């Protein structure tokens, strides 16, 4: 029994050591090898995927959530209760801190589009609301927290795009057809995610043989728990900071996401 424990411990240490060696000497080769062999790749991404596009993340030292607006935190303002109680303050913050109309897909977004075109990537599950995956050309995108590119009238259901929201000068945007409040189609704190988006995301993760988790601290639930559906062979984590998934991963890269993804070659 003691010998078996020793072997298990040695294997664990070897895996961690091997991972660190690869990170310093040829991590790109190991990631490339994994992608070359995969049949069903799924990408699970967070705010770190879009920082190279000029969109700040949330939980880093200089992230959005490090700010305070008077006595309020961003989490308070981006809550369902605050939206209903103080809509004008909500929209002032939303327009100034959450909308980046000039942002363009970066190398990571573009590489994921190449992987989807090659039918290697079967789905992107994103916590981001910036719409950059779709802007890059990807179709198989599950936007867990919605998107700033969609807005709807809470009374009549009429839909409006991001350009309409940007052009609207009202403190609280109202529907031209019925006068109802136009709400962004993003999931606020205290609201539930779309069940069909969640079902599709969990199905794709469950069917994947390789899952890449990138740019997320995996601290937001219930999105982070979606990883429990993964039963595939290779779990790859790309994030500058440690995550709860690191210990279970085949490969851990504490590197820049854009640089890592840019190094991947897509073989059709």
Edge-to-edge order in the sheet of strand 210-214: 141-143, 121-126, 41-45, 210-214, 234-238, 251-253
Count Cβ atoms within 10 A of the Cβ of residue 262 and give its class: 0-12 exposed, 13-18 middle, 19 or more buried. middle
Look at strands 146-153 and 182-186 and give their pairing: antiparallel
How far is the C-alpha of 146 from the C-alpha of 236, rounded, in Å? 25
Please state, in angstroms and rounded to a whole number, the distance separating the CA atoms of residues 141 and 133: 7
Q: Specify whether the CB–CB gap between 125 and 201 falls below 8 A.
A: yes
| Selection from 111, 113, 115 nearest residue 262 by Cα | 111
- Point out the catalytic residue in the list 109, 145, 177, 254: 145
Question: Under a CB-based contact definition with an 8 Å cutoff, are residues 131 and 155 in contact?
Answer: no
First to last CA, the chain: 48
Residue 97 annotated to the active site: no
Phi and psi, residue 175, nearest 5°: -70, 125
Catalytic residue ranges: 145
């Amino acid at each position: 029994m003691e010998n078996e424990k020793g072997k298990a411990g040695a294997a664990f240490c070897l895996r961690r050591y091997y991972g660190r060696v690869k990170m310093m000497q040829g991590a790109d080769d190991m990631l490339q090898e994994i992608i070359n062999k995969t049949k069903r790749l799924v990408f699970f991404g967070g705010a770190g995927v879009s920082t190279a596009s000029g969109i700040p993340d949330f939980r880093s030292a200089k992230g959005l959530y490090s700010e305070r607006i008077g006595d309020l935190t961003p989490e308070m303002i981006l809550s369902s209760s605050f939206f209903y109680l103080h809509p004008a303050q909500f929209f002032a913050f939303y327009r100034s801190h959450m909308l980046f109309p000039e942002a363009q897909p970066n190398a990571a977004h573009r590489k994921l589009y190449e992987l989807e075109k090659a039918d290697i990537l079967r789905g992107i599950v994103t916590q981001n609301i910036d719409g950059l995956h779709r802007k890059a050309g990807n179709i198989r995108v599950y936007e867990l927290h919605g998107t700033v590119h969609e807005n709807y009238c809470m009374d009549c259901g009429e839909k409006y795009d991001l350009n309409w929201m940007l052009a609207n000068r009202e403190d609280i945007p109202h529907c031209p057809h019925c006068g109802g409040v136009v709400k962004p189609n993003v999931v606020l704190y205290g609201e539930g995610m779309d069940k069909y988006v969640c079902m599709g995301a969990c199905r794709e993760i469950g069917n994947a043989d390789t899952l890449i988790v990138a740019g997320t601290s995996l601290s937001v639930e219930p999105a982070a728990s979606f990883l429990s559906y993964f039963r595939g062979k290779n779990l790859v984590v790309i994030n500058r900071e440690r995550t709860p998934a690191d210990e279970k991963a085949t490969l851990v890269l504490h590197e820049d996401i854009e640089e890592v993804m840019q190094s991947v070659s897509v073989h059709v």
